[in-house]
Amino acid sequence: MKFLGLKFFVSAAMIFSCSLAMAEVAPALIKVGSFSEKNIDPNIMNINLQIWAKAATAAQAQEMANKHVKRIKELTEKFKVKKEDVQTEYYSVTPEYAYEHKTGISRIQGYSAMHSLTVTFKNLDQAGQFIDQAASGSKADKEKSGVTIGNIGWDSDKKGEAEEACISQAVKQARGRADDLAKAAGVKIKGVYSITNQQVYANYESAPMAGAARAQNKMMMSADAESGGTDFSPGKIKIRADVNIEYLIQN
């Protein structure tokens, strides 16, 4: 029994030693990182429209807001915007309160309705006209309801192709650096041990409309709704891909 116990102990010790030795042997690697960037022209404008209305009752506020929504939808049809490119982002009908100092009580003095729409506009040549006409409304009704521009953002349907090109270029650059390092060190690259692609991201340039009423007034003064429309500068969309690659090497 003692002999068997000793044999078992020795075997276990050998297995543990072998496992430890294997764990301590790390692969010989060259580690490199690289990135690639590409600028592309936007060909899509995302336009956020804020439709609002105030009235004595909730039903009246909703009715007033719905008139503007109907007008915006008719406008999108006029500019040949597809139905799937018009999306409701937010909708609410809430009471508005007035505080009475004498009684210390807040009482409902009316209701406000808000309907936020995002329009994906793909004809940039007509984007200014669309925004001007969307923001213009009945002057007699401007204190009770209206449409303001929340913000605009740029996008491109060529973004996927640009992302693939950036990843490919970043990997090629990483291999070139690894080859230079291997040559300098007098070793050879056997293959890829691991590769990590950090999230490909795009830097979108947006044009927030700070102060909805001010933005609306500015656009209405700067361009006639039936003319060429407000002029926008789309800039560029920057696409970037980062990769980290580990290459196995041998002498």
In a domain, 84, yes or no: yes
In a domain, 90, yes or no: yes
Bridge-partner residues for 189, per DSSP? 249
Phi-psi region of 130 (alpha: psi -120 to 50; beta: other; left: phi over 0): alpha
* Closest to 117 (Cα-Cα) out of 55, 71, 59, 54: 71
- By the 8 A CB rule, do 26 and 248 touch? no
Whether 188 maps to a domain, the answer reads no
Considering its fold, how many domains does the chain have in total?
1
Report residue 241 as tokens: 């891909």
Residue at 85 is within a domain: yes
Mean pLDDT of the chain: 83
Per residue in 200-229, pLDDT (tens digit) is 766 665 544 443 344 444 444 344 444 567
What is the per-residue pLDDT for 235?
Answer: 87
Q: What is the pLDDT of residue 199?
A: 67
DSSP code string of 217-231:
HHHHHHS-TTSS---
Instruction: Classify residue 113: in a domain, yes or no.
Output: yes
The reported pTM is 0.72
Give the model confidence (pLDDT) of 66-92 as tens digits.
999 999 999 999 999 999 999 999 999
Rounded-to-integer distance, Cα 72 and Cα 45, Å? 16
Q: What is the CATH number of the domain that holds 122?
A: 3.30.70.2970
Residue 77, in any domain of the structure: yes
Secondary structure element (H or E) that encloses residue 157, with its range: none
In a domain, 169, yes or no: no
Residue 244 lies in a domain: no
User: Tokens 């044009």, residue?
Assistant: 207
pLDDT tens-place string over residues 126-147: 999 999 999 986 555 667 999 9
More confident residue, 25 or 140: 25
Range of the domain at 83: 43-156+205-227
